[in-house]
Homo-oligomer: A and B are copies of this chain.
Amino acid sequence: MRGYGQFCSVAQALEVLGERWTLLVVRELIEGSSRFNELLRGVPLMSRTLLSQRLKTLESCGVVERRKGEGGAPEYHLTEAGRDLQPIVSSIGIWGQRWAHRELTRDDLDPTLLMWDMQRRLDVDALPERRTVVQFWFRDMPASKNRFWLRLDKPDVELCLHNPGRDVDLKVETKCRTMVDVWMGHRELRAALRAREITLDGPRRLQRAFADWLLLSYFAPAGRAQAEAGRLSGRA
């Protein structure tokens, strides 16, 4: 992008970070994605061409390092400069929780993205000991993308878009909107379970464990604080 023609360090930083998508790519890297297609799944509306460009720019700016991983597959990792962006991305997210929380439209409620996010935020230690398949069913989504499966095989987690062909151990049924609200910390998971807006079907043991291994978004604590403040001030 053409720069800002300013010596101010905010402007200098924004010449690197300010372009469309860039900070979301950084967010994905912070969250632990490192392969090209992994990154792409985290920003599904971004074209591969554009992701490629942005990664190149970030590399030349010293924010990202491209290196060969195991098997020679390319991987992208944050440099020290990139890791230093973590508090910035984090505070932007917290600000967004508080002030940019517009009503989510249908377009924002992408269940695939939600599942992708969830899949990498599981408490592996709290997972069931045995191989387990959990099915999610989002009633408010078109049939083409309303069913997902998590194959939990400690410590591995795999997200499947089609039935993995094993018996399902636990079924989770809810609306995508509800699950997103919970994920973002705007609703309590246990409250939604009690209200039966999220229903579980399977052995009691797996039902009870569910709320333990399903971690929420990094921003859920801020969302909860926000919801709480709203309730106290009567805006809830």
Is the beta-carbon distance between B88 and A3 smaller than 8 angstroms? no
Q: Within the complex, which residue of B14, B81, B99 is in contact with A92, where a contact is CB–CB below 8 Å?
A: B14
Interface string of A216-236 (1 = CB under 8 A from B): 010100110000000000000
Q: 28 A–B contact pairs at CB < 8 A?
A: A4-B43, A5-B44, A5-B45, A6-B24, A6-B110, A7-B108, A7-B113, A7-B114, A7-B180, A7-B183, A8-B27, A9-B101, A10-B23, A10-B92, A10-B219, A11-B24, A12-B96, A13-B92, A13-B99, A16-B96, A16-B99, A17-B100, A18-B23, A63-B99, A84-B98, A85-B95, A88-B91, A91-B91
A102 at the interface (CB under 8 A from B): yes
Q: How far is the CA of A104 from the CA of B15 in the complex (A)?
A: 13
Tell me which residues across on chain B come within 8 A of A6, comparing CB atoms.
Answer: 24, 43, 45, 108, 110, 113
Tell me which residues across on chain B come within 8 A of A63, comparing CB atoms.
Answer: 99
Interface centre among A4, A13, A44, A61 (most CB of B within 10 A): A13
Q: How far is the CA of A13 from the CA of B107 in the complex (A)?
A: 16
Instruction: Using C-beta atoms within 8 Å of the partner chain, give the interface range for chain A.
Output: 35 or more
Q: How far is the CA of A101 from the CA of B16 in the complex (A)?
A: 10
Tell me which residues across on chain B come within 8 A of A128, comparing CB atoms.
Answer: none
Beta-carbon nearest neighbor of A62 in chain B: B99
Tell me which residues across on chain B come within 8 A of A180, comparing CB atoms.
Answer: 7
Is the beta-carbon distance between A84 and B99 smaller than 8 angstroms? yes
A97 at the interface (CB under 8 A from B): yes
Is the beta-carbon distance between B5 and A107 smaller than 8 angstroms? yes
What's the minimum C-beta distance from A95 to chain B, rounded to whole angstroms?
5
Interface centre among A9, A81, A89, A101 (most CB of B within 10 A): A9
Given contacts A4-B43, A10-B27, A61-B100, 18 further A-B contacts (CB under 8 A): A3-B107, A4-B24, A4-B45, A6-B24, A6-B113, A7-B180, A8-B27, A9-B93, A9-B94, A10-B92, A12-B96, A12-B101, A13-B96, A15-B100, A16-B96, A18-B20, A85-B95, A91-B91
Of residues 64 through 121 on chain A, the ones whose CB sits less than 8 Å from some CB of chain B are 81, 84-85, 87-89, 91-102, 104, 107-110, 113-114, 117
Q: How far is the CA of A92 from the CA of B13 in the complex (A)?
A: 6
